[in-house]
Amino acid sequence: MKRTLFCLSAFLLVIVLSGCRMPYSAAPEATPTEIIIENLFPEPMSATEDPMVMVGSLATASAISMMQTAGTEFATQAVDEISTPTPGALAVTVVTEENPVVPTSTLPVLVTIAPPQPTVPPLVVATPIPGNVPYTYTLQAGEFPYCIARRFNVNPDELLTINNLADGTLYMPGLTLKIPQSGNPFPANRALRPHPATYTTTSSGETFYSIACLYGDVDPAAIAAANGMSLGSTLQIGTTIQIP
């Protein structure tokens, strides 16, 4: 019995001594944690973002969301309630999609007014009126008594008689003729050529007076006026003349 206890005690002693020789387990190395001082406190709010503005924007967004959720019935009910405001209440206009506000332009309307066009007075052609003929007339270059009788629509025999002239006589320019006032017309066709027409001069001595005699019943002043020229204008060979 003693021997057994001795053996057991020796075994325990060996175990204890062997445990004293084993190294202790190493503790885990501590990893230093970097502490950033500036992250310990939150960043201050930007000075440009006003808290009151943010609150107002949030309230506006909430109101718009509520109106979109409520739909047309909410807008119609709001319009009915506002249409009969109570005394002292603030009038509010609610705009819906069915009743949009059409802006009225206050810009001035520019109206283009065309300037008045100048009126061109009609060409007045001086033609002799039967029964209203001059008492005297002075012959111009290229004219003769029968030409004057046709122009003023008077009887050529009376014209020759009161002026003591004979038929076939050569008449010089500057001769003053008395014009009959009896009212007897020219006995034949007064027009020698059809007109209105165009005439081209063929000699350098032609004048509005001589051209008028070629047509018989046309006044030389009317021919000059129709061409925008004066009675005394010099006509070159090949000039085109409008005959009224």
Q: pLDDT averaged over the chain?
A: 73
Please give the structure tokens belonging to residue 26.
């190493």
Q: Looking at the domain assignment, is residue 5 inside a domain?
A: no
Q: Which residues of 77-101 are buried (b: 16+ CB within 10 A; e: fewer)?
A: eebeeeeeeeeeeeeeeeeeeeeee
Predicted pLDDT of residue 75: 41
* Boundary (domain end) residue, out of 187, 205, 224: 187
Residue range(s) defining the domain that contains residue 160: 130-187
| 173 and 216 together in one domain | no
Per-residue pLDDT at 37: 45
In this structure, the answer to whether residues 197 and 235 fall within a common structural domain is yes
Residue type, 177: L
> Which CATH number goes with the domain that contains 215?
3.10.350
Q: For 29-67, how does the pLDDT look when each residue is reduced to its tens digit (9 = 90+)?
A: 555 555 454 444 445 554 445 556 565 566 566 555 555
Q: Is the domain of 195 the same as that of 243?
A: yes
Pick from 195, 226, 224: nearest CA to 210: 224
The answer to whether position 178 is within a domain reads: yes
CATH number assigned to the domain comprising residue 147:
3.10.350.10
198 and 244 fall within a common domain: yes
- The answer to whether residue 134 sits within a structural domain is yes
Select the more confidently predicted residue: 39 or 229: 229
- In a domain, residue 229? The reply is yes
What pTM was computed for the model?
0.47
Confidence of residue 72 (pLDDT cuts 50, 70, 90): very low
Domain-located, residue 113: no
Q: Are 183 and 200 in a shared domain?
A: no
For residue 103, pLDDT beyond 80: no
> Same domain for 181 and 197?
no
**Residues 158/191, Cβ–Cβ less than 8 Å:** no
Cα angle, residue 191 at apex, residues 174 and 159 outer, rounded to 5°? 40
Please determine, for residue 121, whether its predicted confidence score (pLDDT) is greater than 60.
no
Residue 10 within a domain: no
Residue 37 lies in a domain: no
Count of domains in the chain? 2
Instruction: Report DSSP state, residue 15.
Output: H
Contacts for 167 with CB less than 8 Å, ≥ 6 apart: 160
> Residue 76 — very low, low, confident or very high, per pLDDT cuts 50/70/90?
very low
